[in-house]
Amino acid sequence: MRSKLVEFPTDATIQLGGMQIPWFGPGLLLALWLFFTVVWCVWRLVRYGRNGLFAGDLVPFAVVAFAIWFAPQFMRAIPVYGYGLMLFLGFLSSTWLAARRIEKAGADPNIAWDVAMWIFVGGIVGARLFFVIQYFPRVFAEANGPVGFLFNLVNLQDGGLVFYGGAILGAVAFFAFCRRRGLSPLALGDVLIPSIFLGMMFGRIGCLLNGCCFGDYCELP
């Protein structure tokens, strides 16, 4: 079991042109992330036109930017957990597989990345909300004021994702995406099913690294 793999201090700086520039907060990492976001948006607009970019697609970028900006105010170091890393690898690998299958079916492979973002965000939000509702007294037992309440609401470092909530809201996000794009949920779902199992494989590895969902011990021969 190795729940925490490495930590990145939020007060780390880098020297550029005789100046000490922070990585987090209003620093280098945020500038690089905003640059990447702008490049990604321009690429989508140039390649697919106005229909190639939706407000919902920018939600993950906004969440990461928010985390980079406010990280130094809440923690001295940002840990990289085994579960989170496996979740990230599962997202990339399963979406890549879905894109290849969609391309072989003669459709635009970027549909896979678009629907993956919707499902990913919906799944994480649903999984967190399910946990917060189920363990409400424990989650907010030590919350002090609105800031403490908001921090405990999104503090995944203390655990707090339930598969059932992710499955429910992830499915809602999937059908909402299909309705918005005018796609058949059954046809798209048929292509995505293998990716779901690939993502779950990485998720189970993440659970083992985190020391949870390990099952019960067996007395059979």
- 142's tokens: 């030590």
Q: What angle do CA 24, 26, 29 make, to 5 degrees?
A: 45
Angle at which helices 185-210 and 82-104 cross, to 10°: 160
At 1 the pLDDT is: 57
At 150 the pLDDT is: 67
- 220's tokens: 């059979």
In order, the DSSP letters of 178-200 are HHHHT--HHHHHHHHHHHHHHHH
| pLDDT tens over the chain, length 221 residues | 567 788 888 888 888 777 888 888 888 889 999 999 999 888 878 877 776 676 667 888 888 898 888 888 888 888 888 888 898 899 999 999 998 999 888 888 888 888 988 988 888 888 888 877 777 766 666 666 666 656 666 666 556 777 788 889 989 999 999 999 899 999 999 999 999 899 889 988 888 887 777 666 667 77
184-215 core/surface letters (b: 16 or more CB in 10 A; e: else): eeeebbebbeebbebbeebbebbbebbeeeee
Q: Which residue do the tokens 């920018």 mark?
A: 58
At 156 the pLDDT is: 61
- 80's tokens: 């990289």
Contact 54/61 with Cβ under 8 angstroms?
no
Cβ atoms < 10 Å from Cβ of 84 = 19
Rounded-to-integer distance, Cα 64 and Cα 75, Å: 15
The answer for residues whose C-beta is within 8 angstroms of residue 1's C-beta and 6 or more apart is 208, 209, 210, 211
At 38 the pLDDT is: 92
At 153 the pLDDT is: 66
Cβ atoms < 10 Å from Cβ of 47 = 10
pTM given for the model = 0.66
- 145's tokens: 């004021």
